[in-house]
Structures are given as C-alpha cells and as structure tokens.
Structure 1
Amino acid sequence: MNEKAGELVLDHIAIRLGTVELVSLNCSIKPGEVLTVMGPSGSGKSSLLAYIGGFLDKAFTASGKVFSGELELTALPAEARHTGILFQDPLLFPHMSVAGNIVFAIVPDVKGKAARLKRAEDMLAGVGLADMGARDPDTLSGGQKARVALARVLVSSPRALLLDEPFSKLDQTLREQMRALVFEKAREAGLPVIMVTHDEADAVAAGGAIIRVGA
C-alpha cells in the first residue's frame, strides 16, 4: 500500500456557483475503494475534483474539509496535497520521451538518474508498456497514451486518485481494458478513488458507492 494513502474523507463539502448549490457531500472512501459521482454536464462533478486537488476556479465558492487519514488536505497548497488526477486527455509532455514523462513525476526521494529511470521502466512494465520508454509519445496509440498517463500518476505516490472521465474518449474495448487496469492498480496501491462520469458502465465497473448530483 502507498504509505501516504489513507481513508479519504469529504467532510461536509459544499460547492456553489453564485447562489446555486451544485454539490453537497459528506462521506468517506477507504483505500482501494471507488466512489463514483454521476450527473449531467455543469452539475459540479469536475468542480468537486478541482476543490479536492486545490485548483477550483474562482468563479465557484466552496466550503468543507478534505482529509487523507489525519491530514487535512484543504489546509495545504495544491502542490502539497499529492492528489493524482486523470483527465479525458492524457496530457503527456510532447518534448519528452515516454520514460521522461514518467521520470518527471517520480518523487524527489528517489535519487540518481539510473534509479529514477529504472523506477519509470518498472512502472511502464506494470501497465503493459515494457520496453517503450524511449518512444516519442506522439507515436503511441490512444490506449497506450492513457496507460502512460496512469503510470505517471501512480509513480508520483499520490494520496488519492481522482478520475475526471478518463475513459470517455476511448472506444468500447479500450474503455473496458482501461477501467479494469485503473481499478486494479488503485487497489494494489491502496488508493481511495473518486471518479466522475456520465457513463453508467463506468460506475458498474467501479463496483463502489454511487452519488448522483444535479438530478
């Protein structure tokens, strides 16, 4: 289990746009479990993830606390929260190799170029991309890029994994493969997961609690 990861607690979270309350949550997610938040576009799903990660747009107002174990994440700046997030697009750095994208995210306590590169190659092998570290990201398929993005998040030793519809641009077969891989890796790492999605199949695959917003 990731030593940083603990139960993720959303303590009376409320997110508003003007006078309209979009999200109101009070719940917890244990390591390895997935909470799915479903709702239409504009219902505040992604804003919830942004608040947890520390980058909520100033157009919104929010209240409530987020804890990882005993640590209050909402008291920390975004860069100190260590919440890993996957978006619809993999957002790989085009000027870096595949391995370079992974090395960039490795925590500083892994010292030395060789050790960091080995960590990156091991992580790539773990997501089914062994021996692809030297590749240019632009030469990868959409499914391969999604796997690199997942590896980059996992190697950063996050306290929680936030999923902002990361499967939505993949075809049906790749969606099923990536869902299985992401949830398997989250369980292996002992990460609490919050996933926002439009897709009922995502929620079924996650197998955890479902909260609907904006209904």
Structure 2
Amino acid sequence: MLRLEGLVLEQGDFRLCADWQIGPGARVALIGPSGAGKSTLLAAIAGFLAPRAGRILWQGQDLGPLPPGARPLSILFQDQNLFPHLTLAQNLGLGLRADLKLSPDQRVEVDAALERVGLGGFGPRKPPALSGGQAGRAALARVLLRARPLLLLDEPFAALGPALKDEMLALLAEVASATGAAVLMVTHAPEDALRFADSVSLVAGGEAAAPVPVERIFADPPEALRDYMGRAPGTATGAVTGKGGRIGGA
C-alpha cells in the first residue's frame, strides 16, 4: 500500500498537499493543468524531492530515508530512460545489475522480456535506431524485468500518435498485471485515464486530491476538472462511456 501521509511539497512559491492511500495493483491517473504539481508529486515519491512535511510510506515503511535507487519502484519519463550508447540488452540489464555483470540466467531473462513486448532479437540494437513505439516497448520490458511493486509514469507516451499510444497503454496494462504493480500515471489526456486507470487524482489548486473512480469523476466532474477539460457539466461533450470507451458525445 502506498500512503501519502500529510504530505506537503514546496519549491519556492509552489506548494502541493496530498493525504491519501492506494492499494497494491491500483491504477491511478494524475490529471490537472500544467504546473499544478503532477510531476513534482512523482519526483517526491521517487526520492528526487524531499517533502516539506509529512511522509511517503510503502507497506508501512517510511521511504524518506531511502535514496531513489533503494525505493521499491520504477519510473518512466517521456524520454523512456534509455541510455543511447548502450544496446537494448544492456539497457534492460541495468534493471538487474548496475554493473551489467549478468549471469547466464539473467541474460535469458533479458531476452525473454524483449520477446514478451514484441522485441525479440532487438537486444543488440541501440535506442537511436528505434522508433518511438519500439523505445516505449523497450522501457516497459525493463519495468517487467525489475518487477517493482510501484510504477510511476510521467507522460511516457505523450509524443506518440493516437493508435500507437493506445497500443502502449494496452501493453502497459499487461505489464502492470504481470508484475502486480500499483501505477501512478501522469497524463493530460482524459481518454488515456479512461483506457488505463481505475481511478483519478485531480491535481489542482495546490492539492493532489484523493483518487476517485475514473468513470464517476468524468460523469460528474468537480469544478476544477471541468475548468481543465473546458466542458460544462451535463452537456453532450461531457458524456463518458465505460473503460476502453471515449469522451465526447454525438
């Protein structure tokens, strides 16, 4: 269980508060206007930003004393966290050993992870030779290898076209199911939340609100979310179908 206990984050004049928890396997979309603090919240959970007050706990353990590399999580950014001078096999191997001195069994694990995401035989290639979709698949393969119980995503598929983004979200769901990870995903696209998440935390006005079931929040959005989406409540453009559906009306 991830618990944000009286959490307060500050950077200059910026301040963000959060006080809520999610269970293992939860899939939460963080939605809100640019600059509201979505990425800042992930940075704090990952250990890159110390809280001004409060605690971040996983399974009851305070993560505050732990450096980023010792925390039970993986994080993906828009650049997919791939080192361009290393091969894909080496990039994935870093998820198992920082010195890349892999055992034969670990090398088999790397090959199996690439195969699992549709990149069998791509191990010798380097990231600059990949398409955006292939880079996303490689990043997810490393997440699969690491098998950490918490996964943070900061718009890793934002630069992809709609069809390819849908494919990556489906693959992300497969990886999350395979690892049992709880997922926090920053997105500016409500439709991405509908396709992947089971709940939404609205980040606005200095607060990361407690997650609300995804279909419920879009069916009756709070004022801050209506302002963000630019829709009035009760209109056809505010209609929401079920998960895997769409936002919008006829």
TM-score normalized with structure 1 length = 0.87
Q: Is residue 102 from structure 1 mapped to residue 89 from structure 2 by the alignment?
A: no
Deviation at 1:10, TM superposition (A): 1.6
Q: How far off its partner does 1:119 sit? A: 1.0
Instruction: Give TM-score, length-normalised by structure 2.
Output: 0.75
Report Cα offsets for 1:140-173 as digits up to 9, x if no partner.
1110001111112332232310010111011111
Question: How far did residue 137 of structure 1 move?
Answer: 2.0
Supply the RMSD in Å over aligned alpha carbons: 2.0
Structure 2, unmatched stretches of 5+, are 205-223, 225-250
Please report how far the alpha carbon of residue 200 of structure 1 lies from its aligned counterpart in structure 2 after TM superposition: 0.5
Aligned match for 1:148, one of 105, 123, 138:
138
Change (3 A) 1:190 1:11: same
The AA in structure 2 aligned to 1:120 is: V
Q: Are positions 1:84 and 2:64 aligned together?
A: no
- Given candidates 70, 86, 90, the residue that maps to 2:60 is 70
Aligned length: 204
Paired residue secondary structure (2:4):
strand
Amino acid at match of 2:179: A
1:168 aligns with 2:158: yes
Deviation by residue 1:10-42 (Cα, 9 ceiling, x = unmatched) = 222222333543x32222222221111111111
**CA distance 1:204–1:111, change in 2 (3 Å):** same
Which is greater in Rg?
A: 2
Three-state SS of the structure 1 residue aligned to 2:56 is strand
Decide whether the 8 Å contact of 1:34 with 1:209 is kept in 2.
yes
Deviation digits for residues 51-97 of structure 1, max 9, x if unmatched? Answer: 000112x8xx5322122213221231222113201111123112211
Q: After the TM superposition, which residues 176-195 of structure 1 pair with which residues of structure 2 at under 5 Å, given as runs?
A: 176-195=166-185
Residue 111 and residue 19 in structure 1: after superposition, are their counterparts in 2 closer, same or farther (change >3 A)?
A: closer
Query: Does 1:44 find its partner at 2:37?
Result: yes
The answer to whether the aligner puts 1:11 opposite 2:1 as a matched pair is: no
Answer whether contact 1:37 1:212 (CA < 8 A) is retained: yes
Offset, 1:112: 4.6
Q: Secondary structure at the match of 2:151?
A: strand
Identical-pair percentage? 40
Higher RCO (C-alpha 8 Å, min separation 6): 1
Shift of 1:199: 0.7
Cα distance in 2 between the residues matched to 1:9 and 1:34: 14
| Distance in 2, Cα, partners of 1:187 & 1:64 | 30
Please say if 1:128 is aligned against 2:118.
Answer: yes
Seen in structure 2, the aligned counterparts of structure 1 residues 103 and 180 have a Cα distance that, compared at 3 Å, is same
- Stretch of structure 1 that moved more, 47-56 or 69-78: 69-78
Q: List runs of 5+ in structure 1 lacking aligned partners.
A: 1-6
List per-residue Cα deviations over 1:102-157 (Å, max 9, x = no partner).
Answer: 1121157x985322211111111111111211222222111000111111233223
The answer (yes or no) to whether the contact 1:68–1:159 under 8 Å persists in 2 is no
What SS does structure 1 have at the residue aligned with 2:52?
Answer: strand
Where 2:171 maps in the other structure, the secondary structure is helix
